[in-house]
């Protein structure tokens, strides 16, 4: 009986730890930001799609109206030809005048109908089609913007995790006690506490790891016991996300040699191609980054955060 209670208490404790991990930083901020970006993408895409559909319906209706008017114009021309033929066969001057008036009315109608058809055509070419192109371009621009912002949110989560772990377990900084670091006189003058100095040392590490992503992942595994490879998310897919982000920031999405060198044999694009960003790709990135964030946070909380009040 006591053994069962112990097991239940242990399970409850693990459950509590997991719940606390989900609600703690930096995962909490990451989750809120991801939810915001997902909502933004959904709402904006839906709005653009709705406007596209409405415009497409209006375009179809206008095109149908144009076809209808063109058919009526052919009928008007046929009727005018019949009136001309009938007038040529009339001997009565009075009847000829009547037909003359009918013919003038028919010609006026033809002129007005031609102008209306031209107006419909201009409306299609000058209004509907350019707007459809604009909406298409908006979607094309929106997806890369959201993707780049998503990767920025992910970077912030990872680096904030580094900061929080270093505040708890600073061995990466303190292991080499004889190692030196340079600080400006202005920094020393303005430093108000030892905490300012610690933050400075932490930021030095953060900047170094941010520059070298392979070293970053190695530190997580070797120093902090968080091996990203065990998360179930292939590391080559994470590398591809980062590489694609880089070419959208620096090369308008066009695949270059740097992208191919980073991605290696897993590259599905050739140099010079545009690595398109669509909703399906963003959804896949969201899923991978959220699952990896949960994995990192879960271990970091148990191994580091939960053992101290630091945070």
Closest CA to 268 of 233, 232, 235, 237: 237
* Interhelix angle 27-88/93-123, nearest 10 degrees: 160
Residue 250 has a pLDDT of 95
Distance CA 248, CA 259 (A): 11
H/E stretch holding 134: helix 129-168
Residue 16 has a pLDDT of 66
Q: Which residues of the chain have pLDDT under 50?
A: 1-12, 309-311
Q: List domains and CATH numbers for the chain.
A: 2-169+224-307 (1.10.287), 170-214 (no CATH)
pTM over 0.85: no
Digit-coded pLDDT (tens) for 26-64: 999 999 999 998 888 888 888 888 888 888 899 899 999
Distance CA 28, CA 37 (A): 14
């Amino acid at each position: 009986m006591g053994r069962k209670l112990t097991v239940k208490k242990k399970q409850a404790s693990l459950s509590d730890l997991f719940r606390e991990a989900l609600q703690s930083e930096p995962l909490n901020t990451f989750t809120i930001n991801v939810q915001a970006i997902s909502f933004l993408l959904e709402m904006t895409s839906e709005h653009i799609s709705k406007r596209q559909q409405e415009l497409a319906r209006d375009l179809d209706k206008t095109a149908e109206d144009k076809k209808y008017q063109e058919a009526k114009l052919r009928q008007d021309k046929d009727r005018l030809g019949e009136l001309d033929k009938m007038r040529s066969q009339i001997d009565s001057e009075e009847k000829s005048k009547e037909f003359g008036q009918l013919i003038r009315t028919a010609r006026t109608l033809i002129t007005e109908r031609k102008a209306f058809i031209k107006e419909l055509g201009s409306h299609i070419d000058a209004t509907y089609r350019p707007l459809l192109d604009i909406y298409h371009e908006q979607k094309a621009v929106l997806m890369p913007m959201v993707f780049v912002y998503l990767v920025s949110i992910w970077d912030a989560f990872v680096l904030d995790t580094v900061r929080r772990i270093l505040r708890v377990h600073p061995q990466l900084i303190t292991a080499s006690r004889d190692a030196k670091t340079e600080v400006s006189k202005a920094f020393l003058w303005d430093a108000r506490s030892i905490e300012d100095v610690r933050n400075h040392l932490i930021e030095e590490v953060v900047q170094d790891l941010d520059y070298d992503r392979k070293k970053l992942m190695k530190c997580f595994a070797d120093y902090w016991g968080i091996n990203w490879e065990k998360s179930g998310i292939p590391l080559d897919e994470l590398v591809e996300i980062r590489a694609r982000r880089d070419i959208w920031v620096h090369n308008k999405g066009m695949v270059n040699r740097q992208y191919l060198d980073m991605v290696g044999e897993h590259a599905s694009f050739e140099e010079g191609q545009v690595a398109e960003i669509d909703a399906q790709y963003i959804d896949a990135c969201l899923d991978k980054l959220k699952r990896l964030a949960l994995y990192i946070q879960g271990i970091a909380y148990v191994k580091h955060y939960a053992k101290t009040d630091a945070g």
